[in-house]
Chains A and B, each alone.
Chain A
Amino acid sequence: MSRLLFALLLVIFAALPAGAERLISGLSNDTVQITSSFSGERLTFFGTIAPDAGSNERVAEGPFDVVVVILGPTQDRVARLMTNNFGVWLNTEQVEFRNFPSYFHVLSSRRLLEIADINLLNQNFILPEAHAMIPNIAGFMKTLTFGRELIRLMSEENLFGVQENGVLFMSDTLYSAQLTLPSSAPPGPYIAQTYVFKNGEVIARRSEGFAVRKIDFERFLAQSATQYPLLYGIACVVLALFTGWLGGVLFRR
C-alpha cells in the first residue's frame, strides 16, 4: 500500500514544473580490502543525471560534463631540494605541506579547462595544484615551486593524476568512470566527489565515501606493530632466530 502511495507521489512530483537537475550516483565497492595478495583494485563510479524532483521535464537536458574527484586520507608531507655545495649534493631546502592528500585523482569527461573556468576548478579543489596553493609559512614563491614539484613526484608514484577522458557517457545522462587504485594507495577513508557541470557551472554535486583497509592477517600485523611494538619486535626476532636455525637444520649436510 505504502509503495503504491510512494509511486503515486513520484509521478505527481515528476509532473510538477520547475528547474534543476539532480545527480544519482553510486560506486562499485564501499570498501577496498587489502589482503596479502593485494595488488591494487579497480573501482567503478557511475550515475545518472535526472531532472530534479518537481521538474516538468521527463529527461534532463544536456550537454553535461561530469568530474569525479577521488581524495585519499591526508598526511603532512615535505618536499626537499638538493643543491650542489662544494661538489656534494645535499638536501638544503624543504617546504612542509600540512594535511596534504596522500591520494588524489581526477576523472573527467572532457578537458577540465574546457569544462569550467580555472578559478572555479581551483575553488572546488578539482585541480591538483589547488592543494599546494594553501598559504604556507615558507612564503608564496617557494610554496609555488615546491608545491609543483611535490605534485609531479606524487604523479610519478601514481598517487596523483588527472584523466581527462576518465568519465564515459553511455547516453546523454548516464555516465560511468573507472579508477585503478594502485597497491601503494594508503589505507584510510577516501572521498569520491562527483560534480555535474553545465555551461561551465556546477549544477549538482554528490560525495560518497569508501574505505581502503587492511583485513585479517595484514590488519593484525599492522595493529600489533603500532599497539604492541615491543612484543612485535620480540616476535620478529624470535621468527628470525627460528628461521635461521631451521635453515641450518634443513640444509645441513
Chain B
Amino acid sequence: MQIYLPIAELSVNLFFLVGIGGAVGFLSGLFGVGGGFLLTPLLIFSGVPTSVAVASVTGQVVAASTSGALSHYRRGGIDLHLAMYLILSGILGAFGGVATFSILRANGQLDLVIALGFLVLLGFVGILMLQESVRALLKQRQGVVVRERLPNQHSWIHGLPWRVRFKKSRLYISVLPVLAIGLFIGFVGSLLGIGGGFVMVPALVYLLRVPGNVVIGTSLAQVVAMMAATTIMHAVQSQSVDIMLAFCLMVGGTAGAQFGAAAGQHLRGEQLRGLLAILVLAVAIRFGLSLVLTPSDIYSMAVASLSR
C-alpha cells in the first residue's frame, strides 16, 4: 500500500516505513539509543531526500525515546538534575548544528560531512565500546569479579571548578564536563540527524562515572528534550520535517521499542554493549567505504533553492 508524503513529495510503501521504524525501534529499546544513526541512512537509501530524512527522523527519535524514557522514569532510572544540565547545553549545541547543516547543504558538502562525521564518531565510539566489553567478558570468564564502580576513581575531569551534587547519580562533580558533553552531542546530533545516545551513554559511563542504573534513563530523557527542540528548529529553518513520514516511523518505532526493552532485560550489560559496539562499527565501516570506494555515479543533482 502506497502512502504519499506531502513534504518529501513522493509516495512510499506504508508497510516498508512502519517495518523499518519497527526494526530500528526494537534496537533502540534494546540498547537505549534513539536509532537515528540507522534510520537516517536507511531512508536516504530508499529515495527520501537527505534533508527530509534527517529532519523527519528527529521527530521519530522523540517518539521512540519517549516510551523508553517514561518507563525508566517510572522505575526511577532518570537523574533529572543531571538531565537538565545536559538538555540546556544540548539545545544550545543544536542551534549551531542546524545552522551548520543549512550552510553545508547549500555548498553541496552535506553528504561528505555526514559521512565523515559518522565514520569518525561511530568508528571511535565503536572501537572503545568493543574493547571495553570484550575485556569485561573475558574477565568474567576468568572468574574475576567486575565491580560497576570503583571507589576513588575520580579523574581530573571531576575536579574542575563549579562542583554540583547530583544525588541520584551519587556524584559530586564539576558541571563543566557535563555541559561540554551536552553541547557536543547537541551539535553533532542535529547535524547528523541522530539522537546521540550511543555517544551519550559511553560518555556518561566512562567520563562522568554515572552509575549503570540511571545512565540509559538519563540519556533517553536528554534525547527526548533535545530532539524535540531540534525538530522544531528543522521545521522552522529548512521546513523539511515530513509529519506523515515521521508518524509512520513513530508507529513502528514505539511498538518495536517496547519489544526491544523487554528483550534487553534478558541480556547482560557487557553483552548489550558488545552488540551495540558491533552495530555502531558496521555503520562506521559502511560510511568509510562510501568515501573511499568509487561511487556508482560520480555525478549527482539537487534542487538549488526551493523558491527564488
User: Are A240 and B66 in contact (CB-based, < 8 A)?
Assistant: yes
Q: 1/0 per position for B255-285, CB-CB distance to A under 8 A?
A: 1011100100000000000000000000000
The 3 nearest A-B residue pairs measured at CB: A244-B66, A247-B254, A233-B235
Do the beta carbons of A80 and B302 come within 8 Å of each other?
yes
Cβ of B59 within 8 Å of any chain A Cβ, yes or no, is yes
A220→B122 CA distance, assembly (Å): 39
- Contact at A240–B63, with CB atoms within 8 Å? yes
Q: Which residues of B contact A221 (CB under 8 A)?
A: 6-7, 243-244
A36 within 8 A of partner (CB): yes
User: Does B134 belong to the interface (CB within 8 Å)?
Assistant: no
CB–CB B300/A240 < 8 A: no
Q: Enumerate A73-117 residues with CB–CB distance to B below 8 Å.
A: 75-84, 87-91, 94, 96
- For residue B10, CB closer than 8 A to chain A, the reply is yes
Q: Does B103 sit within 8 A of A, measured CB to CB?
A: no
Determine whether the beta carbon of B292 is less than 8 Å from that of A214: no
**A225-B239, A237-B62 given. 5 additional CB < 8 A pairs?**
A78-B108, A78-B301, A183-B2, A241-B62, A252-B258
On whether the beta carbons of A81 and B254 are closer than 8 Å, the reply is: no
Q: Is B60 an interface residue (CB 8 A)?
A: yes
Q: Which residues of B does A touch, CB under 8 Å?
A: 1-4, 6-7, 9-11, 59-60, 62-67, 70-71, 108-109, 111-112, 224, 228, 231-236, 239, 241, 243-244, 246-247, 250-251, 254-255, 257-259, 262, 291-295, 297-305, 308
Which of B11, B224, B239, B291 makes the CB contact (< 8 A) with A89? Answer: B291
Docked CA distance A48–B89 (Å): 69
| Dominant secondary structure of chain B at its interface with chain A | helix
Instruction: Tell whether, in the assembled complex, residue A247 and residue B255 are in contact, meaning their CB atoms are under 8 Å apart.
Output: yes
Q: Does A123 contact B (CB under 8 A)?
A: no
Q: In this assembly, does A35 line the interface, its C-beta being within 8 Å of a C-beta of chain B?
A: yes
Task: List A residues at the B interface (Cβ < 8 Å).
Answer: 34-40, 75-84, 87-91, 94, 96, 146, 149-150, 152-154, 183-184, 186-187, 214, 218-219, 221-222, 225-226, 229-230, 232-237, 239-241, 243-248, 251-253
A176–B156 Cα distance when bound, in Å, is 80
When C-beta atoms are compared, the residue in chain B nearest to A91 turns out to be B108
In the complex, are the beta carbons of B241 and A233 less than 8 A apart? yes
Hey, which chain B residues are within 8 Å of A39, CB to CB? 2, 4, 11
Take A75-B304, A79-B299, A88-B292 as given contacts and tell me if A183 and B10 are in contact as well, using a CB distance cutoff of 8 Å.
yes
A73 to chain B, nearest CB (A): 10
Question: Given that A36-B4, A186-B9, A239-B247 are contacting pairs, would A96 and B304 also be in contact in the complex, using a CB cutoff of 8 Å?
Answer: yes
CB distance A241 to B63 under 8 Å?
Answer: yes
Residues of B within 8 A of A222 (CB): 6-7
Separation of A183 and B108 alpha carbons in the complex (Å): 26
A248 touches B67 (CB 8 A): yes
Distance A38 CA – B259 CA, assembled complex (angstroms): 33
B11 touches A225 (CB 8 A): no
Assess the A76–B239 pair: CB atoms within 8 A: no
B228 and A237 contact, CB distance less than 8 A: yes
B70 proximity list for chain A (CB < 8 A): 244-245, 248
> Could you give 18 example pairs across A and B, Cβ below 8 Å?
A37-B2, A75-B303, A77-B301, A78-B302, A80-B300, A91-B300, A154-B301, A226-B239, A233-B235, A239-B250, A241-B63, A246-B254, A248-B66, A248-B67, A248-B254, A251-B255, A252-B71, A252-B258
Q: Which residues of chain A come closer than 8 Å to B241, judged between CB atoms?
A: 225, 232-233, 236
**C-alpha gap A94/B111 in the complex (Å):** 14
Kindly report which residue of chain B lies nearest to residue A96, judged by CB atoms: B304
Residues of B within 8 A of A88 (CB): 291-292
